[in-house]
Amino acid sequence: MTKVVNYISEAFEELKSNVTWPVWAEVQRLTIVVAVFSVLFALATWGVDEIFAKALAGFFNWIKA
């Protein structure tokens, strides 16, 4: 148990002293960029899924006919 507590303590010390944290304005800007690209990627994935669903439905209707 001492090793776990020591590891966690050293990890927090590492985060405090050796990590370069971005300024708050940059964090906000990059968060918005990630959110926008996430929404765009989700919309693109949805669009491709709809296209393939319609293509497959058309293909199976064509085979059935």
Kindly report the three-state secondary structure assignment for every residue of the chain: CHHHHHHHHHHHHHHHHCCCCCCHHHHHHHHHHHHHHHHHHHHHHHHHHHHHHHHHHHHHHHHHC
Q: Which residues have C-beta within 8 Å of that of residue 30, sequence separation ≥ 6?
A: 22
Q: Per residue in 23-39, pLDDT tens?
A: 999 999 999 999 999 99
User: What pLDDT sits at residue 4?
Assistant: 95
Please report, rounded to a whole number, the percentage of residues in the chain having pLDDT higher than 70: 100
Mean pLDDT, residues 49-65: 95
Domain coordinates in residue numbering, the chain: 21-64
User: Could you tell me if residue 19 is left (phi over 0), alpha (psi between -120 and 50 degrees) or otherwise beta?
Assistant: beta
Query: Residue 65: which pLDDT band, with cuts at 50, 70 and 90?
Result: confident
